[in-house]
Copies of this chain bind each other. A is one copy, B any other.
């Protein structure tokens, strides 16, 4: 009757429940592994403002039965590099990384890269091979595996090499079991769309058949790199408040408020403390637990905090968003909008949208939608995504658009925290603040499209109009002459001329 109690490590937890992290079957595993590593590489290059150069190679090692093979995946970037002492943990320990701060990054759950390596290990038992340099005089090379029960890296080999050419970047190479041929369409679509929203990146992919896919950068102009930011008062809960109090140097609440929170100046801090009934002079570290709870609740109901600014976000900008679509489709018309920063539960976010018409956009009887979140293309579960729901709710006839027109829409949401509905990061939840912004963005570009379509229509209409008077007036003259039993048909030239003058006004 006695029970056995035990603790498992987070690595063990994800090992046991790998399907919830996107590694549910051999096809999805290939897709997720490539995706997680590519996104880490993009983040690594952008964090130092360098246009990313990413090289991906997937090699088939051997068949392992039932349509599944062992592959070797190599992903190389020119990003910031990982300092030698952090390499083992960064690639051999779940929930270790540089992505837990409040800034925009792609891998918000902080376990993608290690999860891919972990999946490789449990399917092939082959160590991972990591090479990295931060651009200084040394290059470090590790062979690692993961002690899953302890969530610890096991270092099998460590080398240090001269870095004569000042190379900087990271190479990750490991083996995993998977099914590339079923994953292929999604993998290629993923890389293609990633290139669309990261037009400053070079992405090269050699697939197991030896085919080379190159997505060459269209520009070297980079968006400003995302910055880390202080927490916004609306997004703070009791736990976070305690952490902030613990780590502050401030001796009084006024200073604490101003130094700790995003966009809180002295006068706002004073007003708030008055509203909360807490003296500005109190030592934050001496607040009783119930006062901390009270403080947090008051923060959520205080109306005067400024909205977060977006310096911590890195949107694409209208030009980049357009450039990607133009490169892909050469449309007749394109319009884009970047909305002002907004906020949900204290997280700042920015919505960008573009609409394009004509060119190579397919006429598929419905609008073509591209979804992006923090520059990641979202490919699965389109119908559950908030953007799709919004597009469906819009009365497109109002914008002179019909389903058979070649129209494409791209929506990009960037935020310090994207409201994903699942760990698989495949679709965005229907948060009212976010969906309102998306709606406004799409409406805005739809109005631009409407103007374009109206202009085209108007020109055609004018041409048709001019001939109508010239056609009918002589007939009226002729029939009425006959009806009235007159001899001479009256002249209508003057009337026709008068119509033309009206047209030219």
Tell me, in angstroms, the Cα distance from A109 to B64 when the chains sit together. 30
Name the interface residues of A1-60: CB closer than 8 Å to any CB of B: 1, 3-10, 12-13, 15-17, 19-20, 24, 47-48
Tell me, in angstroms, the Cα distance from A96 to B149 when the chains sit together. 13
A77-104 CB contact bits vs B (8 Å, 1 = yes)? 0001011001001100101111011000
In the complex, 15 of the A-B residue pairs with CB atoms within 8 angstroms, ordered by the A residue number, are A3-B82, A5-B83, A5-B86, A5-B89, A5-B96, A6-B98, A10-B10, A12-B95, A13-B95, A64-B297, A66-B300, A121-B239, A122-B240, A123-B238, A125-B296
- CB of A239 within 8 A of CB of B96, answer no
Contacts of A185 in B (CB 8 A): none
- CB of B301 within 8 A of CB of A238, answer no
Contacts of A422 in B (CB 8 A): 20, 422
Closest to A423 in B: B20
Tell me, in angstroms, the Cα distance from A93 to B8 when the chains sit together. 10
Which are the 9 A-B pairs with shortest beta-carbon distances? A125-B238, A10-B10, A122-B239, A7-B96, A125-B293, A3-B98, A5-B86, A122-B237, A65-B301
Partner of A123, one of B3, B12, B237: B237
- CB of B8 within 8 A of CB of A122, answer no
- CB of A5 within 8 A of CB of B97, answer yes
- CB of A65 within 8 A of CB of B16, answer no
Contacts of A65 in B (CB 8 A): 297, 300-301
CB distance from A292 to the nearest CB of B (A): 6
Closest to A239 in B: B122
Partner of A10, one of B3, B13, B47, B419: B13
Contacts of A297 in B (CB 8 A): 64-65
Contacts of A16 in B (CB 8 A): 100
Contacts of A17 in B (CB 8 A): 109, 423
Name the interface residues of A316-375: CB closer than 8 Å to any CB of B: none
Tell me if A139 is interfacial: C-beta within 8 Å of chain B. no
Partner of A4, one of B1, B101, B421: B101
Partner of A7, one of B15, B93, B101, B238: B93
Name the interface residues of A130-153: CB closer than 8 Å to any CB of B: 148-149
- CB of B5 within 8 A of CB of A238, answer no
